[in-house]
Amino acid sequence: MAKQSLDTIRVFALGGLGELGKNMYVVETEEEILIIDAGWMFPEDDMLGVDVVIPDISYLVQNKEKVRGIIITHGHEDHIGALAYILRKIHAPVYGTKLTIGLVEDHLKEKGLRKKADLRQIHGESRITVGQFPVHFFRVTHSIPDSVGISIETPQGLIVHTGDFKFDQSPVDGRYTDIDKLTRIGKRGVLCLLSDSTNAEIPGTSPSETTTGSGIAEMFQEAHGRIIVTTFASNVHRIQQVINAAESEQRKIAVVGHSISKVMEISQKLGYLHCPDDIFVDPSEVENMDPERTAVLCTGSQGEPMSALTQMAKGSHHELAVEKGDTVVIAANPKAGNEKSVSRLIDFLYQLGAEVIYGRDNVHASGHGYQEELMLMLNLLRPAHFIPVHGEFRMQQAHGELAEAAGVSPDNTFLLDKGEVVEFTNKKAKRSGKVPSGNVLIDGLGVGDVGNIVLRDRRLLSEDGILVVVVTLNKKSTGIVSGPDIISRGFVYVRESEELMEEANTKVKTTLEKALSENVKEWSTLKSNIRDVLSRFLYEKTKRRPMILPIIMEV
């Protein structure tokens, strides 16, 4: 890639484009790199066995001496989840607001990295310098408190990243998106705007979080029997509304789920969550209490198999179970890709005799602005160039159309993929190649050791199973001492397919004897011959292609 001038600014994303989650954006000069957010996302359906996915940071590692800082816009996992993996390879200060840093601290503590991390607290009025970048912040309303947007002064002009935002006219905590500061930034002139595209396809204005408070209060007033509420663990405002409603109706609350307990503990300690001293009870006490006086607050709004609500519904939770007469409130909408699991969970809850309240505006409000709010942000900042971020491509496309309607030239709107670079020189922008980007898969303690080949094998195993062929050869006489023995897992049930297995056994034996008679002694060749003949035979008989694993031993 051609060497850029000292004043040239490069902007690109290593995650958060063409997907929901894994947010990571980069502003780069010849000498310095500034990173915005470092999130993860949950695996897609075909990523079998994978726990989470983080961005490929190989470009940043190659240029780690240039990295001056990592700024986190808010405390959601899709913005902080990858920090622990990144800080193992890149040593840079991390900037965030009070609650964000509190959540990051806990996240790093679990990974044994807290003592090594340089965490620096900022707020919505902060002005700091990161390397040579003067950075200003502005407050935004989102579904977690203490969210901010960022304005970065560069040699080419202001680059603004909105963070996740909405324009809520009656926010729960009274903290509005800072329109006054946004107006001032717009008057200074914005070279490039990176803006949240999550709800760019939805017309109108998102409902206020306050409406969910009245909706939840109404549910608590009307419900007979026990109430079970599930929401995103990080939605502190929603959790506060549940606590307020329970207090009003004199119900005790049992909190179930590690993640929601952690967020509540941190939020309460930092003053973002206000709870009466005696409102909480241990989950083990709930079964012996009057259902009319109890409520359960738990994880599981996305139908996750190991979440508290799913376990309670299936009777596998060690302390609580969903029972007939319970009212279950799902105070969250399913994220893209989770619709099936949520639908199955709702169906199962109905079968148990519970009343399920879900999919209503009065129990959930999105933390991301709709079209009118995105237009307002564009009109306040009036950017010369625009990069829609944080969304799948169709959302970026819709946001680009909104920008055109707001007066941004289509030639100055860049719908990018991960790794694509926009370069600014003399206040003009152009596409300028790509940097390495993609997915790094986290599976247990393994980081990046699961790749396409491993996933291909897992898919094959999940679809057609495996056959293990074990045979022992005599080293001197090159004859078969024992076997072949064929072991089937996930392919056919052996006791009901004895004829097929005997025929397969004969095919393998014949193939081996022929190869040995021709003085073929290379194990790799013998294994290949076994795989080829067995694969053809089994596909002809069953139209399936199991993984075939030959094991040859010598005595």
Residue numbering of the annotated binding site: 364-368
CA 412 to CA 401: how far, in whole Å? 12
Q: Is the distance from CB of 39 to CB of 70 less than 8 angstroms?
A: no
Helix (H) or strand (E) segment spanning residue 158: strand 157-161
CA 163 to CA 194: how far, in whole Å? 8
Structure token pair of residue 512: 């081996």
Structure token pair of residue 268: 């309460």
Structure token pair of residue 204: 């109108």
Binding residues for substrate: 364-368
Give every CB contact of residue 28 below 8 A, 6+ residues apart in sequence.
9, 10, 11, 12, 34, 66
Antiparallel, parallel or unpaired: β 52-55 and 157-161: unpaired
Q: Is the distance from CB of 152 to CB of 91 less than 8 angstroms?
A: no
Distances, alpha carbon 287 to alpha carbons 225, 226, 320, 485, in Å: 12, 10, 7, 53
Strands, E, within 19-84: which ranges? 24-28, 33-36, 52-55, 67-71
CA 517 to CA 250: how far, in whole Å? 85
> First CA to last CA across the chain, in angstroms?
58
Q: Is the distance from CB of 134 to CB of 153 less than 8 angstroms?
A: yes
CA 173 to CA 210: how far, in whole Å? 10
Distances, alpha carbon 396 to alpha carbons 73, 121, 203, 229, in Å: 20, 31, 15, 33
CA 195 to CA 377: how far, in whole Å? 8
Nearest to 33 by CA among 14, 17, 55: 14
CA 276 to CA 430: how far, in whole Å? 56
CA 51 to CA 35: how far, in whole Å? 24
Structure token pair of residue 382: 């009036």
CA 371 to CA 430: how far, in whole Å? 27
Phi and psi torsions of 456, nearest 5°: -60, -45
Specify the 3-state DSSP secondary structure of 51: coil
Chain position carrying tokens 């004897």:
513
CA 470 to CA 487: how far, in whole Å? 8
Nearest to 487 by CA among 472, 515, 465: 465
CA 152 to CA 30: how far, in whole Å? 16
CA 540 to CA 438: how far, in whole Å? 38
Give every CB contact of residue 154 below 8 A, 6+ residues apart in sequence.
9, 27, 29, 133, 191, 424
Residue 213, classified by CB atoms within 10 Å of its CB into exposed (0-12), middle (13-18) or buried (19+), is: buried
